[in-house]
Amino acid sequence: MQAPRTLWAQGNSVEELENDDILASYRPTSTVVRISRSTGKILWKLGPPTVAVQHAPTRLANGNILIFDNGVHRLDDSLPYSRVIEVDPATNRIVWKYQDKPAWNFFSPRMGNVVRSTVRGDKRRGDRLGIDQSVFWRAVLRWTAGITKQTGFPVISVRR
């Protein structure tokens, strides 16, 4: 257990799945579980060191689980960092991840969320699309006096 005893049962997300199963996240114990509503039994479990005080597990259409892994108190690394992971529940293996380089550049110790979405664009613009393919978020790269000397990244302006 990675949190005080008084917090062990604090759930930070619940999602109802097909067949009324429940996908739940317990941040203090770094545990994500799938529970059978009809029997109350745990059908699937993911825990440390794969996740560390995670948020927002979501079942994807392909059956995998998408998770925002906050990364506080990692058991497999002394450096805290956040990442987004997609886990195959049949094997508990990470099949995809987003992690910044260096890893500590992306760290959200207490909150976070992730959704899978469609993005289209070119080298100067990226659009996030709704289910009906309408643009509801756009990132525009502006090259006017915007590249930092340290990183070489352009200034990004976000429009809705």
pLDDT digit string, tens, across residues 89-98: 999 999 988 8
> Which range among 4-8, 10-14, 144-148 has the greatest average pLDDT?
10-14
Alpha-carbon span 28 to 52, nearest angstrom: 9
Asked whether residue 54 carries a pLDDT value surpassing 60, the answer given is yes
pLDDT computed for residue 114 by the predictor: 76
Between 29 and 111, where is the model more confident?
A: 29
Residues of the chain with CATH 2.40.10.480: 5-105
Mean pLDDT for all residues in the chain: 78
Alpha-carbon span 45 to 89, nearest angstrom: 8
With the CA atoms of 24, 34, 64 and 8 taken in that order, what torsion angle do they form, in degrees rounded to the nearest 10? 40
CB of 35 within 8 A of CB of 44?
Answer: no
- Structure tokens, 61: 């259409």
For residues 9-33, average pLDDT = 90
Phi, psi of 79 (to 5 degrees): -95, 120
pLDDT computed for residue 35 by the predictor: 95
Between 59 and 5, where is the model more confident?
A: 59
Asked whether residue 158 carries a pLDDT value surpassing 60, the answer given is no
The CATH number that domain 5-105 falls under is 2.40.10.480
For residue 155, what pLDDT band results from cuts at 50, 70 and 90? very low
pLDDT digit string, tens, across residues 96-146: 888 888 888 888 888 877 776 655 555 555 666 565 666 666 666 554 444
